[in-house]
Amino acid sequence: MRLVRFLRSIVRTDDLSAAMVLGLILAIAVWLVLLPVNRSIQQATLMRFHLQSPSFLAWCGLQVVPAMYNMENRYWLNEPIRVGDDEISMRCVEAGTTNHFPTRMLTSFDARYRFYRERNQAEVLLESRFQDQVLATRWHVEKGPDNSLVIRRVWGD
């Protein structure tokens, strides 16, 4: 068996770096295998997708875990419209599905370009779902100084 031959050759050649790579991949595999059954891992993955990990360092650690086309990710782009003299309401102008990282609807170059060119401010609702776990976050986007865009999370649960 290849695994046994590999382990024997690691020991025989005293290959610590191969053992480290094996350990890292094994840890990732355990994390992935537990994803469908462990709520904490599901929550951590959903929070990773929404840039809501408890710390930036934790998020950086999770970024090496493969996650191609993971979770059900949706977005709604809402624009403020005036409905009365003093009343402003939000109207959904676009909605869709993304393959992974729904926050790309805020940070990617095409999203930035469209925000900047087409509107002064907007709200974006992002939702990711894995089995019965749901994470929704609402973001406010507005133009800042020097051609910049400012994004701010309004709420998230």
Partner 1 sequence: MSIAVAGGGLREEPTFAKSCERLSTPMILNRIVIAAILVSLLWKISYFVLAFSIYFEYPLRDEFFPGWLSSGYVSLGAYSLAVISCLVSLFSASHRTAFYCSLLLAMSLYLQCIHQHSYNDVTFLTCFWSAVWSLWFTSRIGRDDQQTLLEKGAFIAHLILSAVFLGGAMGKLTPGYWSGEVFYNIYFANRDFWVFNLLREQFSDESLLAISCWYTRFVICAEFSCAFLWAMPQRLASWLAILTCCGICLLSNILLLSVLACLMGLAVIGLHQEPEQPIGEPVEIKA
Instruction: List residues near partner 1 by CB under 8 A.
Output: 1-3, 5-6, 9-10, 12-13, 15, 17-18, 21-22, 25, 28-29, 32-33, 35-36, 45, 51, 56, 59-60, 63-72, 96-101, 103-104, 106-110, 112-113, 116, 129-131, 144, 146-153
Q: How far is the CB of 34 from partner 1 (least distance, A)?
A: 9
- 3 state DSSP class of 13: helix
Q: How far is the CB of 4 from partner 1 (least distance, A)?
A: 11
DSSP H or E stretch at residue 25: helix 16-34
Q: How far is the CB of 12 from partner 1 (least distance, A)?
A: 8
Cα gap 31→14, rounded to integer Å:
27
Distances (CA, A) of 139 to 19, 50, 91, 101: 43, 11, 15, 14
Specify the residue, 76 or 101, whose C-beta has the smaller distance to partner 1. Answer: 101
Specify the residue, 13 or 87, whose C-beta has the smaller distance to partner 1. Answer: 13
| CB-based contact 48:66 (threshold 8 Å) | no
Specify the residue, 6 or 89, whose C-beta has the smaller distance to partner 1. Answer: 6
By C-alpha distance, which of 142, 150, 63 is closest to 101?
63
Q: How far is the CB of 85 from partner 1 (least distance, A)?
A: 32
Q: How far is the CB of 138 from partner 1 (least distance, A)?
A: 14
Cα gap 125→110, rounded to integer Å:
18
Specify the residue, 27 or 81, whose C-beta has the smaller distance to partner 1. Answer: 27
C-alpha distance across the termini of the chain, in Å: 47
